[in-house]
Amino acid sequence: MLSKEGVLLLISLTTWTILLSSLLYQPFLFLVSIFLQIYYSVYILLASKRLKTLYTTDIKIERTLEPFSKDGKNFVRTKLQLWVDKGGPLHVKVIDNLPYGTELAEGLNKAEGVISPKQGLTLSYVLSVDNSIGYIKFAKVDVQVHDALKLCFLTKRIEDRSEVAIPIGEQLIASSHSRFRTFWPRPPFGLGYRGLVGHDDEFVGVKPYEEGDRLRDVHWLRYARQVDEGEIIAKKYSKKGEVAIHIVVDCSSAINVGPAGELLVDIAQFIRRLCLAAEEEGNMIYFWLLNPALLLEEKISPRGVHSRTIIEQYIARIFPTHGGDSGEIAEIFEQRVRQASMAVFIFNPPSENMWIIERMIDACKKVGAGYVLCLPDMYSYVSGRGGEVEMLLRLDKMLKEKWLSGHSDGGWIIELRKGYTSDIARETVRRGIV
Amino acid sequence: MKVRLINMALLGATMLTPLIISADYMARIVLTPFLMLGLLSLLSTYLPPRYQFAVIPLIYAPAITSLAILVLDKQPEYLIDLASGYLVSLPLIAAVGILRSQNLRALLSTYIASLTSSYFLWAIAVQAGASKERLFLVMINLFLNRQGWGEISPPQYFAGLAAFSSIAMVTYAWREYGSALRHDLGEAFIVTATLASLAVALVVAYSLFFSDSVALGLLITGAISFYTLLRAGVLEKWRG
């Protein structure tokens, strides 16, 4: 494709040619202008054709991430190196796409230079990370390969799924933990301190050993019997009376509410407190993210989550995305949900993923699992009322009520209000849920 | 070192044509003190930073003096000479711009500006010599009366010089800015230069037999530019 330089060059040459030929008829200058214009036009055609045959798969990327904290803020020092495995030198311009929840604090996320097997290009910059984000993930790097004279270029997107957990996220959890104790005097569905569940693990069978299983859970006797096969077998336990808490979050564009995404921040806080309460009782958390931008294994937690870092990783994946989810997640949910399960649906109807949520709710009803519907109170998130805004808010409320009237039977409803997600109990009482 | 020397030689060859044409017209005009002051005052803007203090007096002193003479003595010649001095400095300023250009577009723009301005000043100087008028007034007359351009015919060696400097400029641009991909695109330089030269030769050959070759030149350049914009720009963007 033509670069800005190439377009300007062609336009300026055309202007000169027309000016010299028609306005100031001067053959000698006109011929010079013709020569240059034809030269650069043909050059651009040849160069752009040549660029298309380049193998950009030979471009290699390596990233190093170093999180640090300064004056109560979180930063990540990022270093990206590019080089080419084989072939001649390439003139490239690199633009690193910043991950969700980060801003550039120092340096630039773009660089320009020549890369070859001998010579690499290094990008170095510092990102400031939003305090509500405990995990950042890079996705793609844009690489523009230029021709020799920078008149045309070819853009390639190179996958780079680097990720880093921000340690400060754990501190946030710890601080929210204490607040949660204060604000939730009588929590529903086994989340509180008066244990509805015990800690007596019951042996229910065996399973192949997975990464993350404790060493003491390895079934050594069974392993000794079939040692030739080499597969390690682990014991499988379930807690008596354990409630599996499934947190379902609709990451459609409908959750992007508030001038600075206040609903997103509130959802993150709400989930943290929910997880902490579940953790106190020994209940397992399962995440289900309806986010089409993620891979299936990133949307669903394969096992019960109890690590605070992993919880933060899932929270970081909650960001508004355009387009609906494929719905594959609903089928897996139907297989996993049990009677001793509870699902918390966090969403903002109407959205593109409503049909998936409806299917999941039906699955809960079918097996007799409890469920809670958490919807935002849009009046608290939208400021500057009046006129059309007021009308839209009323319409939104009407749609929500209509939808709830068809799907809320058997479940609870919690309304998320701006800044009041820590006071869920009060909201719960107000709505007459308990 | 050798590469640097070759690049400097090519840059010198690029600037040679505007400089020779400038020397030609400088020889044709009467160099008055205020014309020289005007010329030097604009060129002084390119002085190194440590001598920049001299720029303001060099620009303002002659300007205020000539203006004072005009107002007090009612003699406009000095102001006109100063304006002529500014005018004759334009090709030289553009030539310095060629030396200082940081990218291809700047190089090309300053080269064409230098060549065009030097040629126009040469034409104005020829007219001034014939009519015994001052340079600045001849320029105004030429622009007001466009038929005046038809009376001027440049010598044949100008065309040869322009071809020489154009090829030097294209070669210099390739060597200086085409650091990467030279191995892959080395043939492009030869192919494009040959095609452009053939097109120019076609237009010149056409002009020997037919009266107006401008239309043909415009058609060729227009068609190729349009095709380039479509092929490498618009369609690519649309697809991408």
> For residue A75, what is the domain's CATH number?
2.60.40.10
Q: Are the Cβ atoms of A17 and B182 closer than 8 angstroms?
A: no
The total number of structural domains that make up chain A: 4
What phi and psi, each to the nearest 5 degrees, are found at residue B202?
-65, -45
Q: What is the mean pLDDT of the segment spanning B194-220?
A: 79
Mean pLDDT lowest among A6-10, A155-159, A161-165, A330-334: A161-165
Kindly report whether the peptide bond that precedes residue B62 is cis, defined as omega within 30 degrees of 0.
no
CB B181 within 8 A of CB A88: yes
> Where does residue A257 rank: exposed (0-12), middle (13-18), buried (19+ CB within 10 A)?
buried
Assess whether pLDDT exceeds 60 at residue A173: no
pLDDT of residue B105: 79
DSSP string across A279-310: HHHT-EEEEEEE-TTS-HHHHB-SS-B--HHH
Which among B162, B221, B233 has CB closest to A37? Answer: B221
Contact A302, A286 (CB under 8 A): no
Alpha-carbon gap, residue A110 to B34, rounded angstroms: 51
What residues does A113 pair with on adjacent strands?
A92
Lowest mean pLDDT among A303-317, B70-84, B88-102: A303-317
| Same domain for A304 and A219 | no
**Residue A383 sits in the same domain as residue A257:** yes
Residues A224 and A359 in one domain: no
Cα separation of A175 and A167, whole Å? 14
pLDDT at B183 over 60: no
Contacts of B105 in chain A (CB under 8 A): 5, 8-9, 12
Q: Are residues A336 and A288 in the same domain?
A: yes
Mean pLDDT of A414-423: 70
CATH number, position A400: 3.40.50.410
How close is the nearest chain A Cα to the Cα of B34, in Å? Answer: 30
pLDDT of residue A254 exceeding 60, the answer is yes
Q: How many CB atoms lie within 10 A of CB B211?
A: 6
The segment with the largest mean pLDDT, out of A13-22, A148-157, B209-218, is A148-157
Interchain CB distance below 8 Å, B221 and A14: yes
Q: What is the 3-state secondary structure (H, E, C) of A88-123?
A: CCEEEEEEECCCCCEEEEEECCEEEEEECCCCCEEE
Query: How many cross-chain Cβ pairs, A to B, lie less than 8 Å apart?
Result: 182
Q: What is the DSSP letter of A30?
A: H
Cα–Cα separations (whole angstroms), residue B170 to A35, A36, A43, A342, B40: 10, 8, 11, 73, 30
Do A151 and A258 lie in one domain? The reply is no
Whether residue B221 and residue A1 make contact (CB cut-off 8 A), yes or no, is no
Banded model confidence at residue A179, pLDDT cuts 50, 70, 90: very low
| pLDDT score of A192 | 38
**DSSP symbols for A192-214:** SSS-SS---EEEEEEEE--TT--
Based on the domain organization, do A315 and A411 belong to the same domain?
yes
Distance from CA of B206 to the nearest CA of A (A): 13
State the average pLDDT for chain B. Answer: 79
Same domain, A305 and A211: no
Contact in structure between B117 and B90 (CB atoms under 8 Å) = yes
- Strand A140-146 relative to strand A102-107, pairing: unpaired
Mapping DSSP to helix (H, G, I), strand (E, B) and coil, where does residue A80 land? strand
B192/A33 touch (CB, cutoff 8 Å), yes or no: no
Q: Which chain A residue's Cα is nearest to B109?
A: A12
How far off is chain A from B100, nearest CA to CA, in Å?
Answer: 17
Residue A388 has pLDDT above 50, yes or no: yes
Position with higher pLDDT, A16 vs B17: B17
At residue A168, what are phi and psi to the nearest 5 degrees?
-65, -25
d(CA B77, CA A180): 90
The answer to whether A344 and A315 have CB atoms below 8 angstroms apart is no
d(CA B225, CA B238): 18
My answer on whether A186 and A116 are in the same domain is no
Q: Please identify among residues 65-124 of chain B the ones whose CB lies closer than 8 Å to any CB of chain A.
A: 103-105, 108-109, 112, 115-116, 119-120
DSSP-derived pairing of the beta strands A341-346 and A370-376:
parallel
Q: Name residues whose C-beta falls within 8 Å of residue A137's C-beta, 6 or more positions apart in sequence.
A: A99, A100, A161, A162, A163, A316, A317
Q: Does B193 touch chain A (CB under 8 A)?
A: yes
> CB of A159 within 8 A of CB of A11?
no
- The pLDDT-based confidence of A134 (bands split at 50, 70, 90) is low
For A9, the closest of B104, B214, B227 (CB atoms) is B104
8 Å CB contact between B168 and B10: yes
User: What are the chain A neighbours of B237 within 8 Å (beta carbons)?
Assistant: 1
- A10, A13, A21 ranked by CB distance to B214: nearest: A21
pLDDT in tens, B52-82: 777 788 888 888 888 888 888 887 888 888 8
Q: What is the pLDDT of residue A26?
A: 67
Share of chain B above pLDDT 70, in %: 89
- Looking at the structure, do residues A310 and A176 belong to the same domain, yes or no? yes
Chain-centroid distance, C-alpha B78? 27
Kindly tell me the burial class for residue A56, based on how many C-beta atoms sit within 10 Å of its own C-beta (0-12, 13-18, 19 or more): middle
Q: Using an 8 Å Cβ cutoff, are B105 and A8 in contact?
A: yes
- Domain boundary residue among A189, A210, A238? A238
Note whether A147 and A228 are same-domain residues. no
Residues A45 and A182 in one domain: no
Residues A136 and A208 in one domain: no
Is A287:A412 a contact under the CB 8 Å cutoff?
no
Q: In this complex, which of A30, A43, A114 lies closest to B217 when CB atoms are compared?
A: A30
A2–B220: do the CB atoms touch at under 8 Å? no
Better pLDDT: A211 or A425: A211
Give phi and psi for A140, each to the nearest 5: -135, 150
Interface of B with A in 137-166 (CB under 8 A): 149, 154, 158-159, 162-163, 166
CA dihedral angle for residue A130, residue A246, residue A208, residue A137, rounded to 10 degrees: -20
Residue A32: predicted pLDDT: 80
pLDDT at A364: 87
List chain B residues with CB under 8 Å of A55: none
Say if the Cβ atoms of A47 and B214 lie within 8 Å.
no
- Of A211, A238, A265, the domain-final residue: A238
* Type and span of the H or E element at A259: none
CA atoms of A347 and A355, how far apart (whole Å): 12
Q: Which of A117, A232, A50 is nearest to B178 (CA)?
A: A50
- Comparing CB atoms, the residue among A18, A34, A43 nearest residue B188 is A43
Highest mean pLDDT among A159-173, A180-194, B160-174: B160-174
ipTM over 0.85: no
Among residues A343, A264, A229, which one has the least CA distance to residue A101? A264
Residue A258 domain boundaries: 168-198+240-430
| CB-based contact, B237 to chain A, within 8 Å | yes
| End-of-domain residue from the set A142, A165, A188 | A165
B130 vs A186, more confident: B130
At residue A195, the pLDDT reads 34
Report the pLDDT value the prediction gives residue B221, as an integer from 0 to 100: 81
Contacts of A24 in chain B (CB under 8 A): 120, 149
Task: Tell me the mean pLDDT in the region B44-52.
Answer: 79
Query: Between the CA of residue A19 and those of A12, A24, B99, B204, what are the distances in Å?
Result: 10, 6, 25, 19
- Residues in A closer than 8 angstroms to B204, CB to CB, are 31
